[in-house]
Amino acid sequence: MLRQGGESGPLIWGGGGESVVRASPPTKCRILARPKVTGRNPTRCSSVAKVAANHRDGTTRTSGESPPSPAAQHGRLWEIDALRTLAIVLMVVYHAAYDVNLLTPSIGIDPYNGIWRAVQVVCGSLFLGIVGVSFWVSHARAASHGLRGLALWSAHARRGLQVLAAAALVSVATRVALGADDAVRFGILHLIGVLLLMVLPAAVRFGPWNVLLGIAVVAVGVAMDVTSDAPGALVLGFVPTENGVDWYPLLPWAGAALIGLSVGSVLYPDGHRGAVLRALPVASQRGTRFGAAGRRSLLIYLVHQPILVASIALALTVAGIDLQPS
């Protein structure tokens, strides 16, 4: 948790940001007229079903090849899960430093400046960039299955509302644990929920041009240094008198998601790997194993801090270091 600029975060918390929407149309098969010669099955349903099974995950397999992993069968892109796992690792490392400073400030770890500030920015940017990439993939796949307008937005809205519900839980929990001044008011989960419900659905039409919009949002957010306690100022990025911890305003952090949206449109133009990524294997055992945590990023985000604080407090106590919570 951070006092300014926020940190950690999910996805996706786009969570399943590779295939949030699955609306595969039923396989159709035409029955041929019954021939006069008996003993032969004129239908082609069995062969069509096999072809459909082979192509459902975007691959073609012969009978001698082993089926893809469960993740691949569900259309997940292992490289996105792996990147999300990397972001989780950075989040845990940063929060470990943050918690040491919280419990024993005398140790001298400063999570707000220097290398730790850099880790925080990289971690938050990576998480939000993945949100943008994942949104593009799920949007393109849903559109290819005929979803349009309100139906398409509703497919993303369900995930956005789930993330906002988790954000509300975090706000309540931190208010109880840390008090009103340090509670999470607009953290990374709040931001991701707003992105999924409003920002990304509006921006997805611009495709690769979102990189310019994202850079502009980042530049304005970084340059903006205006204090305001007006309603909504905290969300937009105006510096409030009290911003609590884990603060992720739209300016500049939405820019990372918009850049991710642009990257997704280039790497996964139709929701599947484009020419740039064709060299990647369709399934990777190592990548899938490494990405296991990335497939559960929201859950890990919600539970990791209580576990981390308790573990660090125990370790410091065993080491004979007095706890002096700030």
* Helix-helix angle 78-103:297-318, to 10 degrees: 30
Tokens of 300: 């890990």
At 308, the pLDDT band (50, 70, 90 cuts) reads very high
Q: Which of 319, 316, 320 is nearest to 308 (CA)?
A: 316
Q: What is the pLDDT of residue 290?
A: 95
- Collapsing DSSP states into helix, strand and coil, what is residue 148? coil
- Above 50 in pLDDT, residue 46? no
Q: What is the pLDDT of residue 289?
A: 95
- Label residue 280 left, alpha or beta by phi (over 0 means left) and psi (-120 to 50 means alpha): beta
Share the mean pLDDT of the chain. 82
Distance, in Å, from the CA atom of 54 to the CA atom of 47, rounded to the nearest integer, reads 11
Q: What is the pLDDT of residue 293?
A: 96
Q: What is the pLDDT of residue 21?
A: 43
Give percent of the chain above pLDDT 70. 77
**Cis omega (within 30 of 0) for bond into 252:** yes
Residues forming beta bridges with residue 227, ordered by sequence position: 239
At 64, the pLDDT band (50, 70, 90 cuts) reads very low
Q: What are the phi and psi torsion angles at 31 (to 5°)?
A: -85, 125
**How confident is the model over 210-266, as pLDDT tens digits?**
999 999 999 999 999 888 888 888 999 998 887 788 999 999 999 999 999 999 999
Distance, in Å, from the CA atom of 219 to the CA atom of 201, rounded to the nearest integer, reads 22
Look at 82 and 74; give whichever has higher pLDDT: 82
Q: Which of 59-63, 100-104, 109-113 has the lowest mean pLDDT?
A: 59-63
Q: What is the pLDDT of residue 244?
A: 80
* Inter-CA distances, 271 with 140, 152, 162, 169, Å: 5, 14, 23, 32
Distance, in Å, from the CA atom of 245 to the CA atom of 181, rounded to the nearest integer, reads 9
Q: Which of 272, 238, 60, 298 is nearest to 264 (CA)?
A: 272
273 contacts 280 by C-beta, under 8 angstroms: yes
